[in-house]
Amino acid sequence: MLQEEKKVIVAAVSYLNTKPLVYDFENGAMSHLLEFTFDYPANVASMLIKGQVDLGLVPVAIIPQLADSYIISDYCIGASKPVASVCLFSEVPMHEIQQIILDYQSRTSVALLKVLVKEHWKIHPEFVNADHDFENNIKGTTAGLIIGDRALIHREKTAYVYDLAEEWQCMTGLPFVFAVWLANKKLSADFVSSFNRCLKNGLDNIDTLVATTPFPYYDLSVYYKNNIDYLLDDSKREGLKLFLEKIKTID
What would the pLDDT profile of 15-41 be if each residue is shown by its tens digit?
A: 999 999 999 999 998 999 999 999 988
Structure letter (DSSP) for residue 100: E
- Dist. CA 74–CA 46, nearest whole Å: 23
Structure letter (DSSP) for residue 7: P
Number of Cβ within 10 Å of residue 14's Cβ equals: 18
Mean pLDDT of 156-173: 97
Number of Cβ within 10 Å of residue 211's Cβ equals: 11
Task: Please give the single-letter amino acid code of residue 194.
Answer: S
| Region 86-172: CATH code | 3.40.190.10
- Dist. CA 217–CA 81, nearest whole Å: 20
Best CATH choice for the domain 8-78+177-245 from the list 3.40.190.10, 3.30.2290.10, 3.40.640.10, 3.90.79.10: 3.40.190.10
- Domain ranges (residues) in the chain: 8-78+177-245, 86-172
pLDDT digits (tens, 9 = 90+) for 42-101: 899 899 999 999 999 999 999 998 888 999 999 999 999 999 999 999 999 999 999 999
Say whether pLDDT at 1 is over 50: no
For residue 212, the Cα-to-chain-centroid distance in whole angstroms is 22
Do the domains 86-172 and 8-78+177-245 match in fold? yes
In which band, very low, low, confident or very high, does the pLDDT at 251 lie, cut at 50, 70 and 90?
low
Query: How do 70-79 and 142-147 pair as beta strands?
Result: unpaired
Q: What is the pLDDT of residue 4?
A: 42
Say whether pLDDT at 149 is over 90: yes
pLDDT digits (tens, 9 = 90+) for 120-145: 999 999 999 988 889 999 999 999 99
In which band, very low, low, confident or very high, does the pLDDT at 8 lie, cut at 50, 70 and 90?
very high
pLDDT digits (tens, 9 = 90+) for 178-234: 999 999 999 999 999 999 999 999 999 999 999 999 999 999 999 999 999 999 999
Q: Under DSSP, is residue 87 helix (H, G, I), strand (E, B) or coil?
A: strand
pLDDT over 90 for what percent of the chain?
87
Q: What are phi and psi of 180, to 5 degrees?
A: -130, 160
